[in-house]
Amino acid sequence: MSEEPQTEDPMVAALLREREGYVSRGMDERVAQVDEQLKLHGHKPPAKGAQMSARSTPPKGRQQRGPEKT
């Protein structure tokens, strides 16, 4: 099991999530574009063929709003 890269930069984190989606769909051209953006932000792109680990817990569902009070 590979460790998920830790970053404090929200842009890098978003790019890594975006890259993971492109890798899973086989969109190599988009992966290369995201890798270029990662380099510009000072982050080394993951190795080719390396996948990030899946979430350990599913995302929480959205909560419904309570009744509006007037």
Among 2, 36, 7, 6, smallest CA distance to 19 is for 36
Pair 52, 12: CB distance under 8 Å:
no
Global pTM reads: 0.59
Which tens digits make up the pLDDT trace of 10-68? 899 999 999 999 999 999 999 999 999 999 999 888 876 555 555 556 566 777 777 88
- pLDDT at position 66: 78
Distance CA 32, CA 38 (A): 10
Q: E strands, 1-70, where?
A: none
- pLDDT at position 4: 52
Among 35, 5, 11, smallest CA distance to 27 is for 35
- pLDDT at position 29: 95
- pLDDT at position 59: 61
Confidence of residue 2 (pLDDT cuts 50, 70, 90): very low
